[in-house]
Chains A and B, each alone.
Chain A
Amino acid sequence: MKSLAELEAIRERALKEMSLRENTGKIRVVVGMATCGIAAGARPVMNAFIEELHKRNVQNVNVTMTGCIGVCRLEPIAEVITPDGKKTTYVKLDPEKARRIVVEHLINGRPVKEYTIDEVE
């Protein structure tokens, strides 16, 4: 059972880490969570982003969700927006592809071309 004492320990660790980190620009990952996206498997994709980022202790990425992105047939879709405003749209994702995007794009800064909308379309 999860206890409050555990949460307290997490809080203290997090506070220490927060003071260590500078305010670097954050990368945003936005996952399309409209009905079609959910039916196509957007939630496990989003969870894969969250878990892989956690596993690799990547702190400068925000994972959020949005409604309709407008291309149902290419769902699950995620957009990666870097602090300089550059947007990469990934389509037809699955959890494995999401994990690869974490390593190659979010950590190493190289977009995974073959999963982008321009390549798939």
Chain B
Amino acid sequence: MKDLSLHVMDIAQNSITAGATLIKVSLICCDGFLVFRLSDNGNGMDEELLKTVTDPFTTTRETRKVGMGIPLLKLSAEMTGGSFKIESRKGEGTSTEARFVIDSIDRIPLGNVDETLKTLIMANPEIDFEIKFQSEKSSFELKTEEIKKYLNGVPIDNFEVIDWIAGKIRDGLKVVFGGVLNEISG
């Protein structure tokens, strides 16, 4: 994966496959780290499966179809000197955290986070998304549940609504990460 936004897509697809109805995505810059967290209320995994998904070797040996991207994300975070953590409980949900050292030359750029979130919301109107960006500079939050309430019957996957949401997210990224991450101008 060439940027973090593609990992976000991939980890979110695991949550969707796990039947999640709520997916929380956060990107936080703090103390020299960029921390990506994604948690869901989907089916979760038992310990055995959890071990399998984080180990690239067991993953390639048997051709499982879910969670193939987890070892890639883990590797990508660890290459910067950061870390990776995944917690899951059967029947309760899964939460994934990848910490990247911001100044590492091995850190992949943020990429097109707004396109990832836009397509996720558009393609899964029945799932609620809670999005959070935070840095020392500012913070941003968007909850689709609130937007749905506000829309009061107009579907959230209406093209213009989706465009508005994407624009809102773009604004948020700029305000929170502009000048903080060098790929986003301040």
Q: Measuring CB to CB, which residues of chain A are less than 8 angstroms from any residue of chain B?
A: 1-2, 4, 6-7, 10-11, 13-15, 18, 31, 33-36, 38-39, 43-44, 46-47, 50, 53-54, 62-65, 67-68, 70
Contacts of B158 in A (CB 8 A): 10, 14
For residue B72, CB closer than 8 A to chain A, the reply is yes
Q: Closest chain B residue to A64 by CB distance? A: B123
A64 and B161 contacting across the interface, CB-CB below 8 Å: no
Residue among A2, A14, A18, A34 making CB contact with B13, cutoff 8 Å: A34
Contacts of A43 in B (CB 8 A): 6, 9, 112, 115-116, 119
Q: Measuring CB to CB, which residues of chain B are less than 8 angstroms from any residue of chain A?
A: 1, 6, 9-10, 13, 16-17, 65-66, 68-69, 72, 112, 115-116, 118-120, 122-124, 147, 150-155, 157-164, 167-168, 171
* Min CB–CB distance B138 → chain A (angstroms): 13
Residue among B1, B10, B122, B151 making CB contact with A63, cutoff 8 Å: B122
Determine the distance from Cα of A64 to Cα of B126 in the docked complex, in whole angstroms.
Answer: 11
Residue among A6, A7, A10, A31 making CB contact with B123, cutoff 8 Å: A31
Contacts of A44 in B (CB 8 A): 115
Q: Closest chain B residue to A13 by CB distance? A: B160
Determine the distance from Cα of A50 to Cα of B124 in the docked complex, in whole angstroms.
Answer: 13
Chain A's interface: helix, strand, loop or mixed, by majority?
Answer: helix
Contacts of B154 in A (CB 8 A): 10-11, 14-15, 18
* Min CB–CB distance A57 → chain B (angstroms): 8
* Min CB–CB distance A74 → chain B (angstroms): 15
Determine the distance from Cα of A7 to Cα of B13 in the docked complex, in whole angstroms.
Answer: 28
**14 A-B residue contacts at CB 8 Å?**
A6-B164, A7-B164, A11-B152, A11-B161, A14-B161, A33-B10, A34-B13, A35-B10, A36-B68, A47-B115, A65-B16, A68-B65, A68-B66, A70-B65
Q: List 18 additional A-B contacts (Cβ < 8 Å) besides A35-B69, A38-B1, A64-B123.
A: A2-B164, A4-B150, A7-B150, A11-B151, A14-B160, A15-B153, A33-B10, A33-B13, A34-B68, A38-B69, A39-B6, A43-B6, A47-B118, A47-B119, A53-B159, A63-B122, A65-B123, A67-B16
Contacts of B161 in A (CB 8 A): 7, 10-11, 14
* Min CB–CB distance A87 → chain B (angstroms): 18
Residue among B1, B72, B160 making CB contact with A10, cutoff 8 Å: B160
Q: Closest chain A residue to B64 by CB distance? A: A68
